[in-house]
Amino acid sequence: MMKSDIKLINSEGKRLDGRGPEDLRKIKIESGVLHRADGSCYLEWGGNKVLVAVYGPREAVPRHCQNPLRAIVQARYNMAAFSVEDRKRPGPDRRSVEISKVISEALERVILTEQFPRATVDVNIEVLDAEAGTRCAGLTAAGVALVDAGIPMRDIPVACAAGKINGQVVLDLGKEEDNFGEADLPVAISPRTGEVLLLQMDGHLTMDEFNKAFDLAVKGCHIVSDIQKKAIMHKYQAVVAAEVQE
Amino acid sequence: MTIIPAIKKDYITKLAEQGKRVDGRTFDQYRTIDIETKVVNKAEGSARIKIGNTQVLVGIKMDLGEPFPDTPDCGVLSTAAEFVPLASPDFESGPPRENAIELARVVDRGVRESEVVDIKKLVITPGEKVWIVFIDIHILDYDGNLFDAASLGALAALMTTKVPILRFLQSGTLEKKDLETWYNNTSIKDIIDLYSIPGLDEFIASKNKEAPTDIKDIPLPMIEPPISCTAIKINDYVMFDASLDEELIADARLTVATDHKGDIRAMQKGLSGSFSREEIQKVIKGALDNGQEIRKQLYAKIGK
């Protein structure tokens, strides 16, 4: 199918799933969902379903990977075999290794790693159901899981993508938009300072379009950031309320 | 045995002498079981099982491919388990280790030997083209008794699986002539009649090449499933549905699968301890009782 064959956005600015150009898909975040993990988060973002567990800080093994001055952050992004249209072979492929690396580096920037020399913070991201934008969903969920694990951080990292479909810049690409659109720009920021933690782009954008898409993605990040904070508040308000009752 | 389970062993066995367990259950009692199906949209079938704090997600994907040379008239079942590091501080990433392989093989055997999926009906052209059913087990939270959680998850996921006929017709992997040979095979006709696929009869009879979009996907051909129940033995105490703490200090383990008629369909003993004849009968009795309860719950959930 040719790119131009598909009308991803109509003249009234409505997208295939009925969203306007600056609308996010529906996001649901729940923190503290796993029993064994030190911190965890379940996130639904449109058709994406992501589960994140944080373990640590704990001793990094094997020892040669320890850093004597700070903790290392090891994120591991993994897709379930049944999360995609055609079954994915289990285990890491080149794509998930790359995503794991950029997410690790993004998280390392906000975690106070200098407090835990020789330790590791392990962030396990499992994509259970995939529908475009899994790395943003994974990083956003990782932010909440790190808070749930009580890892000291400068800020709660958050991610959101913008892109270009049928010549128009839009927020948060859906499945068809990702496949047949012209560009995709995932961005992760530290919302308090606006520092960019992760930035990738593929496709074709002019300078103006890039600026517009970047601003839009950052705007999306702030919206998602509020949802993250609500999820954390919701969990811990319940905990505090239970303690008060006792 | 590492240090902490060794310390906990004292506590658990002392309680067991008084007929008690750490979480207040009786020896035969299961933790609360929660079954949720259709949790993954991209999968052909899926289920999330919670037994207490243990959580397992099973997804089913289907594909078309060649049958094994020794069974040209059977569809293919393939089971894999992933012990992802998300589920426990002790799980590491990498290729499946022996415990993941054992789990996958026990679940696979349960599904295959009980013939709960009628793989003979998944043959399109004998020796050439059959449906392949992938059962992928994802451990999400490990607090003991993965065997029962994974088996139940596989059943619940299979029972909600829809054979993706329409998708394969549209992608061209499944052709109209395949559908004809599959349909002319009488056994599949039974299922198709049973679940009556609107539009399929007309499509096969017609001269149209393009698949109509109103063809509905059919459920997997299945029969009444056996339910697996696992008991462990600590000293001389036999208890069902071990939590992680109990499992780590267990001397022996016995899994018994029973069907709806009360017959035994599969057994597997594990670990280095032993069982006496009486103990085995006790486990079978407990497996039957618990199996009935779990089956009821499964049917209530699947809507059968």
What are the pLDDT digits (tens) for A93-115? 989 999 999 999 999 999 999 99
Give the C-alpha separation, A113 to A121, whole Å: 9
Residue A62's Cα: distance from chain center in Å? 28
Mean pLDDT of B106-110: 88
Cross-chain Cβ contact B134/A82 below 8 Å: yes
Mapping DSSP onto H, E and C, the string for chain B reads: CCHHHHHHHHHHHHHHHCCCCCCCCCCCCCCCEEEEECCCCCCCEEEEEEECCEEEEEEEEEEEECCCCCCCCCCEEEEEEECCCCCCCCCCCCCCCHHHHHHHHHHHHHHHHCCCECHHHHEEECCCEEEEEEEEEEEEECCCCHHHHHHHHHHHHHHCCEECHHHHHHHCCCCHHHHHHHHHCHHHHHHHHHHCCCCHHHHHHCCCCCCCCCCCCEECCECCCCEEEEEEEECCEEEECCCHHHHHCCCEEEEEEECCCCCEEEEEEECCCCCCHHHHHHHHHHHHHHHHHHHHHHHHHHCC
Q: Quote the percentage of chain A above a pLDDT of 70.
A: 98
Query: What is the structure's pLDDT at B3?
Result: 77
| Percentages (nearest 5) of helix, strand, coil residues in chain A | 35, 30, 35
**Interface residues from chain A to B (CB-CB < 8 Å):** 34-37, 40, 47, 49, 51-53, 55, 58, 76, 78, 80-87, 90-92, 122, 124, 126, 128-131
Query: What is the structure's pLDDT at B181?
Result: 80
Nearest residue to A197 via CA among A134, A155, A147, A149: A155
Please, are residues B162 and B80 in contact by the beta-carbon 8 Å criterion?
Answer: no
What are the pLDDT digits (tens) for B136-175? 999 999 999 999 999 999 999 999 999 888 888 888 888 8
Residue A191's Cα: distance from chain center in Å? 14
Query: What global pTM score does this model have?
Result: 0.85
What are the pLDDT digits (tens) for B186-228? 566 666 554 555 566 666 666 666 656 666 677 888 888 899 9
Q: Please report the ipTM that was assigned to this predicted complex.
A: 0.78
Q: What is the mean pLDDT of chain A?
A: 93
Query: What is the structure's pLDDT at A164?
Result: 94
Q: Quote the percentage of chain A above a pLDDT of 90.
A: 85
Lowest mean pLDDT segment, chosen from B95-104, B151-160, B273-282: B95-104
**Mutual angle of helices A207-245 and A134-148, in 10-degree steps:** 30
Mean pLDDT of A157-182: 94
Query: What is the structure's pLDDT at B199?
Result: 61
Cross-chain Cβ contact B134/A80 below 8 Å: no
Q: Is B40 on the interface with A (CB under 8 A)?
A: yes
- Of B59, B95, B143, nearest to A82 by CB-CB distance is B59
Mean pLDDT of A185-207: 92
Cβ-based contacts of B44 with chain A (< 8 Å): 82
Q: Which band of pLDDT confidence, cut at 50, 70 and 90, is reported for residue B183?
A: confident
Query: What is the structure's pLDDT at B240?
Result: 96
Range with top average pLDDT, B12-16, B48-52, B266-270: B48-52
Give the C-alpha separation, B111 to A77, whole Å: 30
